A = this chain, B = another copy of it.
Amino acid sequence: MNIKQRDFLSTGDFTNEELTALIDLAAKIKAREYTERPLAGRSVALVFFNPSLRTRTSMEIAVYELGGNTTSLDIGKGTWSLEYRENVLMDGDKTEHIKEAARVLSRYVAAIGVRAFPEMHNYAEDMQDAVVRGFARYSDVPVVNLESSRFHPFQALADLMTIREKLGALNHQRVVLSWAYHPKPLPMAVPNSFALITAQFGLDLTIACPPEYDLGNEMMQEINNASAASGGRVALSRDYRKACSGAKIIYAKSWGGKDFYGNPQADIAARQAYQDWRIDEAVMRSTDHGWFMHCLPVRRNVVVTDGVLDGEQSAAIDEAENRLHVQKAVLASIL
């Protein structure tokens, strides 16, 4: 595998062989069998348009443990606000264009990490991933996606590594991605990326969600194509309890409805009918010794009960730990 100097924007840009090699390297790192410092003397810029706990911390530590240095920028807080549209007259509130930000940072650093959540005003526009893709276009160094409007590939890679750790093998395992209630509409990057990577690796995936919360058509097309190519299966369910029965992995996550973008009040009204979409002990008992997974942060007793999250079949903290290892694996491989 040679993925030197490539961007890491979505797992869909990489073959199963490349992703497997990355997870293999992450496992070696986790086992403390990797002691190289390929980033010695080099810096990585982390550009945050949105808040972060795990991502900032795990990236700063990933770079440090590879011998390097990070410089973190919180856009809008302590730095300039950034324009990302092309050919625009910049007479509004944006003081700098990502062309300059990306080009300048390229002169200083070996890679740029970017976190840019969707604005959730317009679904089609958000799905362009204009900020992250803009950085990738104008940067001369690799750009890694720390969660964009559309994808969260480090999370997906950590999730897949966690499933492999828990189940041993990946192929044809029964996995449920279950929508869960949450008081506010959240971005779709995590469910998109989780569904995509499990489809890429041929797992038997059921997406359980109310009809208002179906993933986008183009996204489903990409997921179905990946699943067909790998010999997997993708099913849809409106009954999360039934879907979870007999499954090996219950991946809970709340997200907003694409048709409600621009109208959060309508989304909040719609989701009230689904307040019982919560993973509890009864759901977990119905699984095949299933594991509970969540990308965190999670609202206790809203998305999942204390009992499940604190229980022995909860993999949430392992997923978070694996974020560190896969990030090191990706950085060591592309830099």
A320 touches B107 (CB 8 A): yes
Complex Cα gap A40–B332 (Å): 20
A183 touches B299 (CB 8 A): no
A77 touches B79 (CB 8 A): no
A60 contacts which chain B residues (CB < 8 A)? Answer: 43, 69, 71
Query: Within the complex, which residue of B51, B91, B97, B301 is in contact with A90, where a contact is CB–CB below 8 Å?
Result: B301
A269 to chain B, nearest CB (A): 16
Query: Within the complex, which residue of B88, B104, B297 is in contact with A301, where a contact is CB–CB below 8 Å?
Result: B88
A324 touches B54 (CB 8 A): no
A274 contacts which chain B residues (CB < 8 A)? Answer: none
Say yes or no for A166: interface residue by CB 8 A criterion: no
Query: Within the complex, which residue of B83, B91, B297 is in contact with A183, where a contact is CB–CB below 8 Å?
Result: B91
Binary CB contact string for chain A from 187 to 203 against chain B (1 if under 8 A, 0 otherwise): 00000000000000000
Chain A interface SS verdict (over half):
mixed
A97 touches B53 (CB 8 A): no
Complex Cα gap A317–B108 (Å): 11
Docked complex: A69-121 residues within 8 A CB-CB of B: 69, 71, 73-74, 77-80, 83, 87-91, 95-97, 99-101, 103-105, 107-109
A52 touches B71 (CB 8 A): no
Say yes or no for A298: interface residue by CB 8 A criterion: yes
A103 contacts which chain B residues (CB < 8 A)? Answer: 317, 320
Docked complex: A299-324 residues within 8 A CB-CB of B: 299-302, 306, 310, 316-317, 320-321, 324
A324 contacts which chain B residues (CB < 8 A)? Answer: 107-108
22 A-B pairs (CB sep. < 8 Å): A41-B65, A43-B64, A45-B57, A51-B80, A52-B78, A56-B79, A57-B71, A57-B109, A61-B108, A77-B78, A90-B299, A91-B302, A95-B299, A96-B296, A97-B298, A100-B296, A100-B297, A103-B317, A104-B317, A104-B321, A107-B317, A108-B324
